[in-house]
Structures are given as C-alpha cells and as structure tokens.
Structure 1
Amino acid sequence: MLGIKQTKELIAGVLRSQITHRCYSIETGKSLSSTPSSLYSGAAVVFDIDGVLIRGKNAIPQAVKALRILDGENKLNKKIPFVTLTNGGGVTEAEKAAAVSKIIDYPDGLDKDDLPVDPNDGSMSDFNKEKIHAVMVFHDPRDYGRDLQIIYDVLKSKDGVIGNGYENSGKQSVPLYFSNSDLIWSTDFVSPRFGQGAFRACLETLWDKTNGDGGNKLERILYGKPFKVQYEYTENCINSIFNDNGNGRNVYAIGDNPLSDIDGAHNYGWKSVLVRTGVYSDQTKHKYLNSNPTAIVDDVEQAVQWIVDQEVSRVD
C-alpha cells in the first residue's frame, strides 16, 4: 500500500490531474506558449468542462466557437491563453483532454502529457494484513455500499490494518483525502447527477451515526474547486505560460456550478462568468442567491465574448 512518499506524490497528482494547461492554436496545432508575441498577456481564461464545454458525451454547440475566439478571432487580434480546471476525475489528464477534444471536435486543442501512472504496477497483496497509510478518493464510486464499507473499515482499523479490527477509542486511524466536493454535476441527462460530494456526505453521516453525538468528527482533507490550493496551482500554470508573476492580468473563470466554479473564483479574487448550460439555470437560481458571479450569460460563447469586450474596453 501507500508509503508517505507515494502519498505525497498522489496528492500532487490530484492537483495536476484536474488541470489541462497547454494552449494550442486550432490551425497550427503548436503550443501558444512557444509564440509569446501572438499572445494577449492581459487576461487568461479558466474553463470548467462539464456543463460548459460538454454535457456527458455531447458537445455544447457554442464550445468550438468560444475556443476559436480565444484563438485570435476577436477584436484584440490576439490569442488569449486558457486552461481547463475540472472537478471531474477517474482518468488521467491526457485521457480527459483527448476525450473532450474528440467530443467538441477541437483537434490538438486540449492536451497534456500522460501522468506516470501504471495500473499494472505491483502484485496482489493480502490487504487484511497490509498497513494502509491513507484513503484517497479520486472519483465518485460506482458502488456506494461496497466502497463506504471498505473506507469505513480502513478509517476505524487499528493502526491502519483492516485485519486488526476496529480501534476502540473511536479515533480515525489514517488520513482521508477527497479530490473534489461537488454535490451534483452536469451530464447529458436532463437532471444533475450526484457527485463525489454526495459520497462524502454519506460517509460523514455514517461516521457521525456510529460514533455518537460526542464522538470524534471525521477528519478529511479536501481538494478541487472551490478550495484555494487548486486556484494557487492553476494560477502558477497560467503564469508559466508567460514566465511572469501575473501582475496586472485578469483571470476569468467560466463555470456552470455556483458552489464550486463561481464561489471558488470569487474567493480567490478572480472574475467569474456563470453559464446556464449546466447545473445553474433560471429554474434553479433561487438556490444560489449567495453566489457572486461577475456576469451571467447563456453559454460559453457569450461568456468568452463578454470577456473579450471587457478587455477591449480596458486597453482602449
């Protein structure tokens, strides 16, 4: 199982795997960062994916046009760099980028080197006797009942060994990490689906119920939007495109989920644009009165055009 070094590497992987940060020209397929003179340095765009560029396995129609605007078809006559920041998981950056590019028919538009993950590395172990150092949730499970039981057994075990039985003190034996906290997310189904946040809520409820009112609360470390650590990493990715510290640059986040995309951007000091093609809609807006998007538009094309208009007015 995981040692301390491997645990730290996996935590770093949580941050990396949620961000695809190469910006490409549609026509040339060359990295925009290799031609800095063609870039507009005054702004960068951070896209959510699900509910903004795609819904399930279907492209949102305005996605390609939005990317072409960023690729230079705009009043600035400059390419505006972008990154994608998603709470979606379960695959590597490269797999996610390839899948999204195929769905929206944007060749070479989103890409990232494979992470060094070998699913066949290591042999089968007797986990009943193996010491487990951490529980890390990278994606919402397919089988809640099975995975809740296994994680609970690990968290309650003596010294992280399931075969030792439960720790009588009620203390949590190993740290618990979640890669995102989205309660719901948008797919191609008509209604939002439960996300990893729903699974976390189930685990927390079971922990509280079985440990009593005065018991130890479940301790967990949370990554993904809307938490600061994710935005710090994303900002570093953006700054690396220009090899600067980002002073004077406007960063615009485009998302469909007010509780993750918009609140996270707002709390970090970015501007945010909320679209109506995913979790948020006119029918659900009463649930998100405390969110503070900079703008609300119908779709990603309108969002990008609004951003360009803001920057044109700033440089005129």
Structure 2
Amino acid sequence: MRFRSCFGVSQVKALSSRFRRLYSHLRPQGRRPSFGIAFDIDGVIIRGGNPIGGSPQALSRLHAEDGTLKIPYIFLTNGGGVPESKRASELSGLLGVQILALQVVQGHSPFRDLLSRFENDLIVAVGKGEPAKVMLEYGFKKVLSIDEYASFFKDIDPLSQYKTWRINQNYEIMKNMNGLYSRYNVDSDAVKGTFIVSDPVDWGRDIQVLCDILSCGGLPGKAKGHQPALYFASDDLEYQAAFPSERLGMGAFRIALESIFNSVNSTPLWYTSFGKPNPYVFKIAESVLMQVASTRYGGQCTVDDTKENKFSTIYMIGDNPMVDIKGATKAGRPWFSILTRTGVFKGKDNHQEYPADIVVENVDEAVEYILKKEAL
C-alpha cells in the first residue's frame, strides 16, 4: 500500500528564518516577480557530478550582479542522502552562485514531519551518502544506519564474506564503533521505523535485513510480529546518472523489496512513499518558493497568503516525464512544465503519455524561454 505526504508549514517557516537572517542586510529591490522556478537536479542541472546544459550560466541569470537573488527559485529533487545544507553548499560550489538550504527540497525532506512520532524511538536509515546524519539533523534521537544496525547481528548477511570491496566487515569492530554497543540493545529495543533516505547501496544485504526487521516486529531473529513503519523518500523507477542509459532508482528497490517481502510473508508490505509526482509535493514547493520570495523582497507573505501574493506561474524544469512533468500537470495551475532532453527524456518530440507544456534542449534554453516569456 502506498500513501504519500510531505513536510509542513512549520518546517518551511523554520528554514525561511535562516534565509531571512542571511539577507537581513539587504534592502528590497523592486517588486517581487510574479513567477518562480523549480529545478530538478540530476539530468537537468548536473549529471555524474558535473554541471550540464549550461546550468551555471542559466542560474547566474537569476541573480543580480552583486550575487543576490533576483528571481525566486528552488531545487525540487527526489534525490538526497545528505542534509539540505550540505547539498546547497555542493551546488553553490558547482554552479558558482549562492544557494541556501531553504532552496533545496529533497526526497527525504518530508521526513522532518515524522519527528513527533519517532523522535525517541529506534529507527534505521538506509541509503547512500549519510542517511543517519540526515535523520539526526532532523531531530531524531536514536538513529542507526543499516550498516551500523546489521553489524549487531552476526551472520545476518550470509554473503558478507564474499564482499571483499566492503570495509569494516569485522563484526566486533563494527559493533563497537562510536560506542554503538553501549548505547543500543537491539535484542530488546525494537526498531519502530525504517526510512529509505536515498538509493540503497547493497541491495541484497539491505533487502534481507529489512525483511528481518519488518517481518519480526523490529526484532530480527525473533518471532513474527507487527510490521514497523516503512518510508521511502521517493519512488523513481529510473533516473539519469553518468552512464548513457538510465539507472534503476529507489522505486526499483521498492518493487524488489515488496515482491520478496510479500512472497515470504502472509500479509502484504505496508509503506509510505514520498516525492514527485505527488501533487502535494508541488504544493509544498509553492510554499517554499513563497518563503524564498518573501524573505528576499522584504515582504510579509506567508504560506497562507491571499491570492494577490501567489505566483501567476511556477515553472517546473525537469528531465523525467513520469516524475517531473506528470507531477506538474497533476498539480495544475500555476504550474507550467518544461521538459529538457539532457536526462531521462531524449525524444525528438514531446512525451506521448505525459506531454510537457514545452520541450527544450537544456536548462539554459529553458531559462532563456522563461525570461523572454516574462519580458525580463
């Protein structure tokens, strides 16, 4: 079963206060633009860690000569694995413009709103990058990465001895690292929530350990029990990376886990999946854009603003018709979809099933189109 949600107003306001402090020395410069832009990242802005499609030039056009923000924009991505502040810093270095944490909405950003439910419970974070650090920065108190958690159980991964590329495979070394052994007793402290923060690295091990956690009430090796909560940061089947062909994403991992779990259990897997193309994610993105605009232009507008303060158009620039374009289309006005050919989509004409409002070669061409359309 799949249920989608997203992070709330309080989290947006908290992030916007940081943005406001950084721009507090600036005086409002003119009237706020009536439009905003949401950029996907992988396949639009970067590919394989490198800028593509003229993205540095495109982003620079949205800033004034002194580097301050001129056109409100955010990054709306199903990717993640690192805190929003770190992703903003990485993008700033790659693109040559100042990007703040408020401007980065990642697939796992909605996990913040689950803090009240799991703040003091043991949870397991899965994925590449720094999944446990992400959850700790959101305020969760008892977090283990799946690497750390698996280290408590000798022989839980029967194939570990063959994984010569792995480091710190020694059971006792891993179990005692960072004082984990003294802080957690996994024999009695059940896992209450499992969070797929980013794309898992070791699918075989992770599916095995997750099946153990989810089948046995959060206590691997024990009797069958009530399934702990399971959350996915996104449900992308494929995404564009450095390799010419698309790579399998978190949605593919979810399909594999669900198929295997349902094959070895009498009750089906229950989970919650976030991320695009959920229209509610686009509503949250609109709220974030309003906060970016209001803090930059000295206004008092909030996410509950009247119609006069809303954007007339929000441009979604993406490369994946089934995620970016489908989501913007379902969200409806004021969203306007722009499809690039630099990522998942490479067709000559528009996508047949999920056609965009316009198709362009790359993000630089997309920004050029927007600025001309808006007479800027």
Using structure 1 for the length normalisation, give the TM-score. Answer: 0.77
Partner of 1:238: 289
Is this contact kept in 2: 1:39–1:80, CA < 8 A? no
Partner of 1:151: 210
Equivalent residue letter for 1:218: L
Equivalent residue letter for 1:54: I
- State the SS of the aligned residue for 1:80: coil
Displacement, 1:191?
A: 1.8
- State the SS of the aligned residue for 1:133: strand
Q: Taking structure 1 as reference, are residues 248 and 87 closer, same or farther at Cα in structure 2, changes over 3 Å only?
A: closer
Distance in 2 (alpha carbons) for counterparts of 1:32 and 1:206: 53
2:100 to 105, 111, 114: 111
Is this contact kept in 1: 2:277–2:327, CA < 8 A? yes
Tell whether 2:223 aligns with 1:180: no
Q: Map 1:260-271; keep pairs closer than 5 Å.
A: 260-269=323-332, 270-271=335-336
Q: Taking structure 1 as reference, are residues 34 and 137 closer, same or farther at Cα in structure 2, changes over 3 Å only?
A: farther
Partner of 1:304: 367
Is this contact kept in 1: 2:87–2:101, CA < 8 A? no
Distance in 2 (alpha carbons) for counterparts of 1:258 and 1:89: 20
Distance in 2 (alpha carbons) for counterparts of 1:302 and 1:133: 47
Tell whether 2:261 aligns with 1:207: yes
Q: Map 1:11-30; keep pairs closer than 5 Å.
A: 12=7
Distance in 2 (alpha carbons) for counterparts of 1:37 and 1:71: 12
Q: How many residues align?
A: 279
Q: Taking structure 1 as reference, are residues 107 and 71 closer, same or farther at Cα in structure 2, changes over 3 Å only?
A: closer
Tell whether 2:74 aligns with 1:83: yes
Equivalent residue letter for 1:229: Y
Q: Taking structure 1 as reference, are residues 85 and 16 closer, same or farther at Cα in structure 2, changes over 3 Å only?
A: farther
1:135 to 194, 212, 236: 194
- State the SS of the aligned residue for 1:273: strand
Is this contact kept in 1: 2:53–2:363, CA < 8 A? no
Tell whether 2:43 aligns with 1:51: yes
Structure 1: segments with no counterpart, 5+ residues? 1-10, 25-29
Distance in 2 (alpha carbons) for counterparts of 1:149 and 1:31: 48
Partner of 1:257: 320
Structure 2: segments with no counterpart, 5+ residues? 1-5, 103-133, 144-177, 295-300
Q: Taking structure 1 as reference, are residues 264 and 36 closer, same or farther at Cα in structure 2, changes over 3 Å only?
A: farther
Distance in 1 (alpha carbons) for counterparts of 2:233 and 2:253: 12
Distance in 2 (alpha carbons) for counterparts of 1:32 and 1:273: 33
Displacement, 1:49?
A: 0.8
Q: Taking structure 1 as reference, are residues 71 and 221 closer, same or farther at Cα in structure 2, changes over 3 Å only?
A: same
- State the SS of the aligned residue for 1:254: strand
Partner of 1:42: 34
Q: Taking structure 1 as reference, are residues 153 and 265 closer, same or farther at Cα in structure 2, changes over 3 Å only?
A: same
2:89 to 88, 92, 98: 98
Q: Taking structure 1 as reference, are residues 69 and 230 closer, same or farther at Cα in structure 2, changes over 3 Å only?
A: same
Displacement, 1:131?
A: 1.3
Partner of 1:27: none
Displacement, 1:100?
A: 1.9
Q: Taking structure 1 as reference, are residues 86 and 121 closer, same or farther at Cα in structure 2, changes over 3 Å only?
A: farther
- State the SS of the aligned residue for 1:291: coil
Equivalent residue letter for 1:247: K
Tell whether 2:212 aligns with 1:161: no
Displacement, 1:188?
A: 1.9
Percent of paired sites with the same residue: 32
